[in-house]
């Protein structure tokens, strides 16, 4: 470890970046040494991504100085950052899915086999294969990106940075898309790269990862760098306090041994197509009882969204049956679904869940307006009264029922969706990634609403990629993998859930 | 043998298909960079009128006059494409709306019509035209004579263009870059490739190709200027790019297929063969193609199933927070 090396690999001093209405980075000081794994810890919106985008030349800082290995730099474009040895693995991969691995690597290349005007695919493939072998990141250079698993795609992203001879490597929330096993493999790679003398900046909001992989941690909150501490001297509790600014009570659910309620939601051999016409849901059978939270785990893109949409009436099924309280519900008909008592908190809250330019009161009435009208006319005062009540009950922070919905923060947007779905007293509640992108306090509130719904007798189907959330809330865990659903026997076993997320079965 | 219906139709199919091929190659380049330009018809008409004007006004020998005409037509096409490029790349306007507007602005009731009438181009034949380059004896060879050796220089240049565009896209670094820009501009951007620059360049070159395509009609096929002379060929060219799955070599096959269809009706008529309403079908073709194109480009599912560049029609905005 070389945390005390004389010349830091990265040194940022007083870096400030403003966006309209918000200071994303406020006089941030940040330093990382060669050979170090340095974690950037912070909640969503704390300014981690902005800071890394400045370091990779995507944004230019409004104030502040940046030095790499003691040399001052000012990147006007991503190209200049790449040439200076800064590589980044984005959270949402920046890969061309129809290209081969090799083609993705040589894109924009100025040093290797791709720098010539004429491109020779076989020469490039050879070079890429050698690189993969050297770093034990095996991947077929001729494979097309869309053929690869998410873990393999991430490997390509890392290889891409290594191919560009990156000495400073930024990983942005790298485990968000990985199964627990894949994440462990990644940590090994990260340590290897640090041992070679590279600097790894590891961005995360997950404490246990930061504790596991980093040498030092810098905590960001509301755009400010609060502290840099050695990981060995920190505890998860001390880091949480820095990150959130106060202690958080975490509510955990008292799991019940046996589902005792009556079956409310019954799904039988459900099949549905994805957006691109491929089969996304392959014969799912599922029963959720009254008062139960059934949690579906899985890596994104395994058909969870399509399953939720099929049950909620937003996507026609090609085969199979959905029943609520014993009565069949016609799939592909959203109105039939919510009249049958299905409430849906979608993953994409601003796109699918809400109409962003309507006032809050209108959004709250999107499902109930038929009962709040006289003939074709809406009873606006009634809608507003109802909205005022819900704003109070669900603690939605806003200027009032007439405020435009898209002016709210993520947590409050989610509360609007939840308030609307809850006020219909659904017998089935589907929540898809309900806490993605929310801060810790809002996460706890959303969790308590879900538990409350179950206590009031709803059948709750929670779909999430966040294992911590699944473990905290579930009565029963199911795992979705490539469109099929399997039950997990031991609902507290991370290793069994992880294994099933990767398509395996415990043997 | 060279007078048999099949040979005559194939020979004129190659000639009629050449403007389609130029226009399709240009559109293919623009679309591969992610820019859908529905203004092909307008840009072709712009090239048609300016190319024709050049041969009427430049007093020089045939070679110089025709070369100048092609250059002027290409510049006209590129100039019109630059309007589209500015609107959709810099201002991020809807590509469908901007392209349709360009066709209306430059088309048969717009700029090209105004220029043609104002410059008095109607009612006189072209002063210089593109003619067959090989000697009569070669043109008389059985079958290949009329089809391959009976063509003008623009046909042979178009073959060269197919080869060059194909190699450019598959085997060169800028070709790889432009494909990346069309498939995933975000990936290209992080690799230091300028999305804006690539899109501008390919949209403008695409426009130049369309301009040349227009001039091919007024200087080689029907050597005169008539308002709206392209008769919807621009729409067929856009449809061709789709049916060719965005591959230049398939554009060539498609262009000659549609070219032959166009040649079919008059030939059948001349030979007193009646095959039902053939003329009706071939005349309706551009309109049918317009509808097909608009339906396909408006449907995300259709586009991705056909294998369109993934970012086709989508403006690139560097992710803001």
**B24-35 burial, b for 16+ CB within 10 Å, e for fewer?**
bbbbbbbbbbbb
Question: What per-residue confidence (pLDDT) applies to B290?
Answer: 84
Question: What per-residue confidence (pLDDT) applies to A254?
Answer: 65
Query: What digits encode the pLDDT tens for the residues B42-87?
Result: 999 999 999 999 999 988 899 999 999 999 999 999 999 999 999 9
Question: What per-residue confidence (pLDDT) applies to A507?
Answer: 61
Indicate the residue of A94, A109, A115 with minimum beta-carbon distance to B187.
Answer: A94
d(CA A413, CA A124): 48
Query: What digits encode the pLDDT tens for the residues A263-311?
Result: 999 999 999 998 767 889 999 999 999 999 999 998 888 899 999 999 9
Q: Where are the domains of chain B?
A: 5-306
> For A485-499, B29-43, B153-167, which range has the lowest pLDDT when averaged over its residues?
A485-499
Q: Contacts of residue A49 in chain B, CB cutoff 8 Å?
A: 321
Which strands form A10-19's sheet, in the order they lie side by side? Answer: A22-32, A10-19, A63-68, A71-73
Comparing C-alpha atoms, which of A206, A263, A272 is closest to residue A461? A263
Assess whether pLDDT exceeds 70 at residue A312. yes
Query: What digits encode the pLDDT tens for the residues A341-364?
Result: 999 999 888 888 899 889 999 999
DSSP conformation letters of A353-368: I--TTSBHHHHHTTTT
CB contact under 8 A, B191 and A115: no
Indicate the residue of A22, A94, A98 with minimum beta-carbon distance to B190.
Answer: A94
Assess whether pLDDT exceeds 80 at residue B300. no
Question: What per-residue confidence (pLDDT) applies to A257?
Answer: 46
Best of B184, B304, B317 to disrupt the A interface (most A CBs within 10 Å) is B184
CB contact under 8 A, B191 and A82: yes
Mapping DSSP onto H, E and C, the string for A209-253 reads HHHHHCCEEEEEECCEEEEEEEHHHCCHHHHHHHHHCCCCCCCCC
A72 by DSSP, 3-state: which? strand
Assess whether pLDDT exceeds 60 at residue A259. no
Percent of chain A scored above 70 by pLDDT? 95
Could you say which DSSP state residue B37 is in? -
Assess whether pLDDT exceeds 60 at residue A258. no
Q: Cα distance from B307 to chain A (closest Cα, Å)?
A: 10
Question: Which residues of A sit within 8 Å Cβ distance of B?
Answer: 19, 22, 24, 49-50, 56, 58, 77-80, 82, 88, 90, 94-99, 103-104, 106-109, 114-119, 275-277
Q: Contacts of residue B304 in chain A, CB cutoff 8 Å?
A: 276
Query: What digits encode the pLDDT tens for the residues B94-122?
Result: 999 999 999 999 988 899 999 999 998 88
Q: What average pLDDT does the segment B137-142 reach?
A: 87
Of all residues in chain A, the one with the smallest CA distance to B186 is: A94
More confident residue, A256 or A395: A395
Indicate the residue of A24, A78, A109 with minimum beta-carbon distance to B321.
Answer: A24
CB contact under 8 A, A277 and B321: no
d(CA B104, CA B97): 11
Assigned token pair, A22: 């918000």
d(CA B310, CA A285): 34
Question: What per-residue confidence (pLDDT) applies to B3?
Answer: 79
B40 by DSSP, 3-state: which? helix
Comparing C-alpha atoms, which of A242, A228, A232 is closest to residue A10? A228
CB contact under 8 A, A114 and B176: yes
Question: What per-residue confidence (pLDDT) applies to A248?
Answer: 58
Of all residues in chain A, the one with the smallest CA distance to B304 is: A276
User: pTM for this one?
Assistant: 0.79
The owner of tokens 């096929």 is B221
CB contact under 8 A, B193 and A107: yes
Assess whether pLDDT exceeds 90 at residue A443. no
Q: ipTM of this predicted complex?
A: 0.84
Question: What per-residue confidence (pLDDT) applies to A173?
Answer: 86
Assigned token pair, A314: 């937003």
Query: What digits encode the pLDDT tens for the residues A92-148?
Result: 889 999 999 999 998 888 777 777 788 888 888 888 888 888 877 888 899 999 888
Of all residues in chain A, the one with the smallest CA distance to B167 is: A118
Kindly indicate the confidence band of residue A3, based on its pLDDT and cuts at 50, 70 and 90.
very low
- Give chain B's mean pLDDT: 91
Percent of chain A scored above 90 by pLDDT? 41
Of all residues in chain A, the one with the smallest CA distance to B318 is: A58
Q: Contacts of residue B318 in chain A, CB cutoff 8 Å?
A: 58
Return phi, psi of residue A107, to 5°: -55, 125
Indicate the residue of B177, B179, B318 with minimum beta-carbon distance to A108.
Answer: B177
Indicate the residue of B174, B305, B318 with minimum beta-carbon distance to A58.
Answer: B318
A284 by DSSP, 3-state: which? strand
Range of A450-464, A471-485, B152-166 with top mean pLDDT = B152-166
Q: Cα distance from A146 to chain B (closest Cα, Å)?
A: 13
Indicate the residue of A78, A95, A118 with minimum beta-carbon distance to B192.
Answer: A78
Best of B188, B189, B192 to disrupt the A interface (most A CBs within 10 Å) is B192
Best of B191, B196, B197, B306 to disrupt the A interface (most A CBs within 10 Å) is B191
Q: What average pLDDT does the segment A397-416 reach?
A: 86
Range of A184-188, A329-333, B208-212 with top mean pLDDT = B208-212
Range of A4-13, A134-143, A156-165 with top mean pLDDT = A156-165
Return phi, psi of residue B320, to 5°: -95, 155
Assess whether pLDDT exceeds 60 at residue B281. yes
Indicate the residue of B172, B180, B301 with minimum beta-carbon distance to A96.
Answer: B180
Indicate the residue of A19, A114, A276 with minimum beta-carbon distance to B173.
Answer: A114
Is residue A244 a contact partner of residue A43, using CB atoms and an 8 Å limit?
yes
Q: How many Cα atoms within 13 Å fall on the side-chain side of residue A346?
A: 18
Assess whether pLDDT exceeds 60 at residue A1. no
Question: What per-residue confidence (pLDDT) applies to A249?
Answer: 59
d(CA A16, CA A63): 5
The arrangement of secondary structure in B5-306, i.e. its CATH architecture, is: Orthogonal Bundle (1.10)
Q: Contacts of residue B171 in chain A, CB cutoff 8 Å?
A: 118-119
d(CA B261, CA B243): 16
Would you tell me the crossing angle of helices A150-163 and A121-134 to the nearest 10 degrees? 100
CB contact under 8 A, B171 and A115: no
Indicate the residue of B171, B183, B192 with minimum beta-carbon distance to A119.
Answer: B171
Of all residues in chain B, the one with the smallest CA distance to A164 is: B191
d(CA A117, CA A138): 28
Kindly indicate the confidence band of residue A468, based on its pLDDT and cuts at 50, 70 and 90.
confident
d(CA B241, CA B251): 6
Comparing C-alpha atoms, which of B280, B228, A470 is closest to residue A460? A470
CB contact under 8 A, B172 and A118: yes
Q: Contacts of residue A99 in chain B, CB cutoff 8 Å?
A: 179-180, 183
The owner of tokens 């690139």 is B316
> For A409-418, A491-500, B190-199, which range has the lowest pLDDT when averaged over its residues?
A491-500
């Amino acid at each position: 470890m070389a945390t005390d090396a004389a010349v830091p690999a990265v040194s940022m001093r007083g870096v400030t970046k403003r966006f309209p209405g918000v200071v994303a980075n406020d006089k941030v000081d940040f330093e990382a040494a060669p050979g170090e794994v340095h974690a950037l810890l912070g909640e969503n919106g704390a300014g981690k991504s902005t800071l890394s985008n400045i370091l990779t030349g995507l944004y230019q800082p409004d104030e502040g100085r940046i030095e790499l290995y003691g040399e001052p730099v000012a990147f006007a474009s991503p190209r200049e950052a790449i040439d200076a040895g800064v590589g980044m693995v984005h959270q949402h991969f920046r890969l061309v899915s129809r290209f081969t691995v090799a083609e993705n690597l040589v894109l924009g290349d100025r040093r290797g086999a791709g720098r010539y005007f004429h491109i020779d695919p076989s020469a490039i493939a050879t070079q890429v294969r050698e690189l993969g072998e050297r770093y034990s990141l095996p991947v077929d250079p001729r494979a097309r990106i869309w053929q690869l698993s998410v873990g393999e795609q991430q490997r390509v992203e890392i290889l891409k940075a290594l191919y560009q001879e990156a000495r400073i490597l930024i990983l942005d929330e790298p485990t968000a898309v990985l199964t627990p096993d894949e994440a462990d493999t990644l940590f090994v790679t990260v340590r290897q790269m640090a041992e070679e003398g590279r600097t790894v900046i590891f961005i995360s909001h997950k404490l246990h990862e930061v504790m596991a992989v980093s040498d030092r941690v810098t905590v960001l909150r509301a755009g400010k760098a609060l502290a840099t501490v050695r990981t060995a001297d920190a505890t998860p509790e001390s880091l949480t306090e820095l990150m959130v600014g106060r202690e958080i009570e975490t509510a955990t659910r008292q799991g019940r041994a046996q589902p005792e309620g009556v079956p409310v939601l019954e799904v039988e051999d459900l099949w549905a197509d994805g957006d691109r016409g491929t089969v996304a849901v392959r014969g799912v059978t599922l029963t959720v009882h009254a008062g139960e939270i059934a949690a579906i785990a899985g890596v994104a893109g395994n058909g969870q969204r399509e399953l939720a949409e099929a049950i909620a009436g937003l996507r026609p099924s090609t085969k199979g049956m959905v029943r609520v309280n014993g009565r069949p519900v016609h799939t592909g008909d959203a109105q039939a679904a919510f009249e049958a008592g299905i409430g849906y908190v979608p993953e994409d809250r601003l796109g699918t869940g809400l109409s962003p330019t309507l006032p809050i009161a209108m959004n709250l009435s999107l499902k109930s307006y038929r009962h709040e009208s006289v003939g074709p006319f809406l009873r606006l005062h009634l809608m507003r009264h109802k909205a005022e009540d819900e704003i109070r009950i669900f603690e939605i922070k806003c200027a009032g029922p007439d405020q435009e919905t898209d002016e709210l923060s993520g947590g409050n947007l989610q509360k609007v969706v939840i308030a609307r779905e809850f006020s219909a007293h659904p017998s089935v509640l589907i929540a898809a990634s309900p806490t993605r992108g929310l801060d810790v306090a809002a996460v706890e509130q959303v969790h308590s609403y879900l538990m409350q719904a179950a206590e009031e007798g709803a059948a709750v189907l929670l779909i999430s990629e966040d294992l911590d959330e699944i473990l905290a809330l579930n009565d029963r865990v199911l795992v979705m993998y490539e469109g099929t659903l399997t039950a997990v026997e031991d609902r507290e076993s991370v290793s069994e859930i992880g294994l099933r997320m990767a398509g395996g079965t415990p043997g | 043998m060279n007078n048999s219906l099949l040979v005559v139709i194939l020979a004129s199919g190659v000639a009629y298909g050449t403007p389609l091929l130029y226009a399709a190659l240009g559109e293919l380049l623009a679309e591969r960079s992610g820019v859908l330009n529905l203004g092909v018809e307008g840009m072709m008409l712009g090239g048609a009128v300016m190319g024709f004007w050049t041969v009427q006004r430049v007093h020089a020998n045939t070679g110089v006059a025709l070369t100048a005409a092609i250059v002027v037509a290409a510049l006209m096409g590129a100039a019109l494409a630059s309007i589209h490029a500015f609107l959709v790349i810099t201002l991020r306007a809807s590509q469908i709306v901007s392209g349709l507007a360009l066709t209306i602005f430059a088309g048969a009731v717009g700029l090209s019509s105004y220029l043609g009438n104002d410059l008095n181009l109607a009612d006189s034949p072209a002063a210089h035209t593109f003619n067959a380059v090989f000697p009569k004896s070669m043109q008389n060879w059985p079958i290949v004579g009329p089809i391959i050796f009976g063509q003008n220089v623009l046909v042979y240049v178009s073959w060269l263009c197919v080869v060059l565009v194909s190699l450019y896209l598959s085997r060169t670094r800028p070709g790889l870059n432009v494909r990346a820009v069309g498939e995933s501009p975000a990936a290209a951007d992080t690799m230091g490739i300028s999305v804006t620059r690539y899109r501008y360049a390919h949209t403008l070159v695409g426009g130049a190709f369309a301009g040349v395509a227009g001039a091919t009609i007024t200087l080689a096929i029907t050597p005169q200027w008539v308002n709206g002379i392209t008769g919807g060929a621009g729409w067929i060219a856009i449809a061709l790019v789709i049916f060719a799955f965005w591959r230049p070599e398939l554009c060539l096959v498609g262009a000659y297929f549609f070219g032959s269809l166009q040649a079919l009706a008059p030939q059948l008529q001349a030979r007193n063969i009646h095959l039902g309403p053939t003329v009706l079908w071939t005349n309706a073709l551009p309109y049918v193609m317009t509808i097909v194109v608009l339906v396909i480009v408006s449907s995300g599912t259709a586009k991705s199933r056909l294998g369109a560049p993934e970012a086709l029609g989508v403006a690139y905005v560097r992710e803001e927070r």
